[in-house]
Amino acid sequence: MSNGNGKYDVAVIGGGPGGYVAALRAAQLDCRVALVEERELGGTCLNRGCIPSKALLHSAHILDSCQKSSRFGVNVENISVDIKKIQQHKDRCIKQLVSGVGTLLDKAGVDVLAGHGRFADSHEIAVSGPDLDTSIEADKIIVATGSETAMARIDGADGANVWSSDDALRFDRIPESMVIIGSGATGMEMACVYIHFGTKVTILEMFDHALPREDRDVAGLVMRTFKKRGGTLELNARVVRIEDSGDSKRAIYERDGEELAVEADVILCAIGRRANLDNLGAEEVGLEIERQGICVQEGVETPASTEPPRAMCAGTQLRTTVDHIYAVGDCIRGIGLAHLSMHEAVAAVEASQGMDSNINYLAVPTAMYCHPEVASVGILEHHAETMGLDVVVGKFPFAANGRSVAIASREGFAKVVAERGSNRVLGATIVGRLTTELIAEMTFAVEIGATLDDLARTIHAHPTLSESVHEAVLGALGRPLHVPAT
């Protein structure tokens, strides 16, 4: 940690994925760099989001595997859950990765200031913390303050046993029942954690299908699996208030003009996040703020929007309405993806140093670690329909894939969307085992403008799950090998 020392070439406010990567990239460019962070390095992702949730999901997956092991000839007896050790595993993961970020910044020569950063003027940041009260100046400033949990604006949402996503990661008991408001990534991932540990889970979704940002066939498969495990899904369910019901909680929701209710030990609000701009002084120095966050040039929008993505994204500079101030990550959209924040950080720093920078927002993958996993990139099938695009779609079921059969993980499919005529790959969705790893190939295809023919000529190792993607491509070309032609 540092107490600050005069003027810097680049100052970064926020030490999450966008912030620390911005600091590291600036240091690589021989800039004198300061990073201001009032909480833990690594931000929400490492401490309260991506990493801890995946650690818990891994524990849940191991439990599920043990419970099903006898079908593979492996008998596991006296299976039990030790919550304390589950939390210890999660905490070890966090500690290791946060420590690693600190080491990287130290080795890169970045001055890390432990305190809250606030604009004193457009080039000066006042930093205040328990052991620090100083200010620094910088030629260029990167704002990467991230986001924070947005609790529902519902009467009773601030009561006891109404959890945020942060609370859901810190459990010291397994509730017998839980109501989850929202079926997005956070809601579905937490549903999978708790349902594996034996909680009776009910999801309330205000739209007419779950996973509203995904294609309906994807959402349908995920929810069929969820229901097989004992979960309950209520669609078109707009929660209007939360009440106490003895020792339980009651969620009151409206559907078709009728009020309905469901009770549970715990209610989890998983409806999103908001840009963290509190006490930043952004507007005082001329930064324009809209509902979702800080405005940047090129009108950056998230690829996870419920609206079709727009091909308007190459060459963005991530510059705010103040020329020498840039913003990246969740603070410009309220909710985002850690990997996108990192790439925006690199682009913003390079732009601040007069370099060309490009981000293709159509080539940003999304990953949902529920069961089965969901990963997608680019223009999905329902986007293409809404946009009126003439496309070909290829789809291949995991049930016909040799590796999937061998590991008894036959749920899922790979789907590819391409422009008719040119065969240029526009997007893809893969749902099933380890699909969050498989999406990289299709992300690269969208990024470089690859065609179906390019992918068809690419040899995929056998037996692998990636062959499902290859077969989906062949299906889009009208010549599938391992399913009958339609």
CATH of the domain at 379: 3.30.390.30
- Cα distances from 390 to residues 287, 313, 321, 385, in angstroms, run 41, 22, 38, 8
Expressed as residue numbers, the domain containing 127 is 7-149+274-362
- Name the one residue in this structure whose structure tokens are 């599920």: 64
Beta strands in 144-281, from DSSP E residues, in sequence order = 147-149, 162-163, 177-181, 200-204, 232-234, 238-245, 248-255, 258-264, 266-269, 273-275
- Name the one residue in this structure whose structure tokens are 């889970």: 201
**Per-residue model confidence (pLDDT) at position 308:** 40
Residue 156 lies in a domain: no
Residues 91 and 140 in one domain: yes
CA within 13 Å, CB half, 333: 19
CB contact set of 65 (below 8 Å; sequence gap of 6+) = none
**Per-residue model confidence (pLDDT) at position 485:** 82
Q: Can you tell me the distance from the alpha carbon of 105 to that of 99, in angstroms, rounded to the nearest whole number? A: 10
Domain boundary among 362, 390, 424: 362
Q: Which of 339, 343, 460, 462 is catalytic?
A: 462
Residues 262 and 291 in one domain: no
Beta strands in 166-218, from DSSP E residues, in sequence order = 177-181, 200-204
**Per-residue model confidence (pLDDT) at position 310:** 39
Domain boundary among 310, 331, 362: 362
**Per-residue model confidence (pLDDT) at position 9:** 98
| Burial environment of residue 75 by CB neighbours within 10 A (0 to 12, 13 to 18, 19 or more) | exposed
**Per-residue model confidence (pLDDT) at position 4:** 55
Residues 435 and 305 in one domain: no
Task: Say how many C-beta atoms besides its own lie within 10 A of residue 159's C-beta.
Answer: 12
Q: How many domains, the chain? A: 3
CA within 13 Å, CB half, 352: 34
Residues of the chain short of pLDDT 70, as ranges, are 1-5, 298-316
Minimal CA–CA distance to 83: which of 175, 146, 181?
A: 175
Residues 341 and 213 in one domain: no
Q: Is 462 a catalytic site residue?
A: yes
Residue 367 lies in a domain: no
Domain boundary among 362, 381, 411: 362
Residues 13 and 137 in one domain: yes
The pair of three-digit structure tokens given for residue 480, joined into one six-digit string: 């599938």
Q: Compute the C-alpha angle 227/232/235, nearest 5°.
A: 110
**Per-residue model confidence (pLDDT) at position 303:** 42
